Structure 1
Amino acid sequence: MWTSALAGLGFGLALIVAIGAQNAHVLRTGLRREHVGLVVAICAVSDLLLIAVGAAGVGTVVAASRPVTVVTTVLGAAVLLGYGALAARRAVRGDDALVVDGAPVVDGTPGVDGAVGRAAGTAAAVALTTLALTWLNPHVYLDTVVLLGSVAAGHGDARWWFAAGAGVGSVLWFTALGYGARLLRPVFARPAAWRVLDAVIAAVMVGIATGLVVDLLAP
């Protein structure tokens, strides 16, 4: 069972540790210290639920339904394109620097730790964005429900140990990404760094959305 759990941990990390819509969002909120605990919790709990669904064998049924695939793909592509457009606008306008009381934050400014991000977005808005980028992103289902579920099935009776290992990997990754982002704050004290990050986020979102549509239309 421990072998299956460790295999699940490694496989789960291999799937999740990549530049994607969800990870880009967690990184950005972590840098802004914008309801980080809420974002990490939503991503981790969502992954645990999806991993459980995959291990239960639901992925095979979902993958076989063309209508479900089309609807989730279109919705997911629309959400990703919308988020990408917002990131592109921020990159062009340069209006995404860390701001406190209307003034740009410079690394080392007193009171930054407690003030950054409080006015940047309400908890409800951040939660809704996180939920949309998680549950309306078809890649999440492909990775956790379908792919991970298929591999878990190969472990037979130990598939739940495999799923548990993957779940631990997911929790560890989102926690490290969300709370570890603060280590990069000195870099992002410069507005130009935020423009680069938002440009990368926009490119990633549009690229993923385009890939989803292309795969959907492929014969």
Structure 2
Amino acid sequence: MNATLVPALLGLGTGLALIVAIGAQNAFVLRLGIDGRSGTVLSVVLVCAVSDALLITAGVLGVGAVVEAVPRAVAAVRLLGAAFLLVYGLAAARRVLRPGTLEAAGTAAGGAAAVATAAALTWLNPHVYLDTVVLLGSLANQHGDVRWWWAAGAVCASFLWFFALGFGARLLRPLFARPGSWRVLDALVAAVMLALGVRLLLGT
């Protein structure tokens, strides 16, 4: 196998292993993909994927050591992220208890609001920095001269996952033609957001 292809595939696999999980970011993209407009979904998945690419690149450049050396900055991001997730989770819970009181998350207020929410869910989550800048960055640097190929694989994983999630979610639209399905999805979103918000608040 090509000497650059192997590290790229390893980076792809590692990136997917970290990204493919039920989290705040994925729950938001899933909900938006089911109910959103194509232009809005494209903007949001690009924000998520490009953000990951920037953070992984920063990790390869050695920013991970800086992140670990400034715990107060990480703590501040953690508290802001916890507050954002708790507010978002409560909004989703309100939709479950009072269907129709709030429009679909991110789409009612327009694409700008959806993009802002996606950016907040990405950049206000300290685990994103630990997963991308610290973990993926350090793993990439273990591959010496081919570290950028490994990082490229991890970046490709982000683009593949978010585009598949955002645009593949439309396949679920027939299921969500029933209002009850939206209540189940919002209950899942609320549970994920509130659980992650509490974990961040407690520093776990």
TM value normalised by structure 2: 0.91
Q: Does 1:179 align with 2:171?
A: no
**Correspondence for 2:113 among 125, 149, 153:** 125
Q: Distance in 1 between matches of 2:65 and 2:27?
A: 28
CA contact (8 A) 1:42 1:127 kept: yes
Residue 97 of structure 1: CA displacement? 9.3
Per-residue CA shift, 1:189-210, capped at 9, x if unaligned? 1111111111111111111122
Q: Does 1:50 align with 2:38?
A: no
- For structure 1, the residue ranges without an aligned partner over 5 or more in a row are 100-116
Matched position secondary structure for 1:95:
coil
Q: Does 1:12 align with 2:21?
A: no
Check 1:71–1:163 CA distance in 2 against 1; reply closer, same or farther (3 A cut): same
Residue 161 of structure 1: CA displacement? 0.8
How big is the alpha-carbon RMSD for the aligned residues of Structure 1 and Structure 2? 2.0
Task: Tell me what 2:80 maps to.
Answer: 75
**Correspondence for 1:95 among 93, 100, 103:** 100
Aligned AA (1:13): L
Q: Distance in 2 between matches of 1:83 and 1:91?
A: 13
Aligned residue pairs, count: 199
- For structure 2, the residue ranges without an aligned partner over 5 or more in a row are none
Check 1:177–1:96 CA distance in 2 against 1; reply closer, same or farther (3 A cut): farther
Per-residue CA shift, 1:10-55, capped at 9, x if unaligned? 0000000000011111101100123111111111111111111111
TM value normalised by structure 1: 0.85
CA contact (8 A) 2:106 2:113 kept: no
Task: Tell me what 2:122 maps to.
Answer: 134
CA contact (8 A) 1:96 1:194 kept: no
Residue 155 of structure 1: CA displacement? 1.1
Aligned AA (1:10): G
Alignment of 1:201-212 (within 5 A): 201-212=189-200
**Correspondence for 1:167 among 129, 132, 155:** 155
Residue 119 of structure 1: CA displacement? 6.5
CA contact (8 A) 2:32 2:107 kept: no
Residue 126 of structure 1: CA displacement? 1.2
Deviation larger for 119-128 or 10-19: 119-128
CA contact (8 A) 2:89 2:194 kept: yes
Task: Tell me what 1:194 maps to.
Answer: 182
Q: Which has the larger radius of gyration?
A: 1
Task: Tell me what 1:106 maps to.
Answer: none
4+ residue segments displaced more than 3 Å: 96-99
Task: Tell me what 2:44 maps to.
Answer: 39
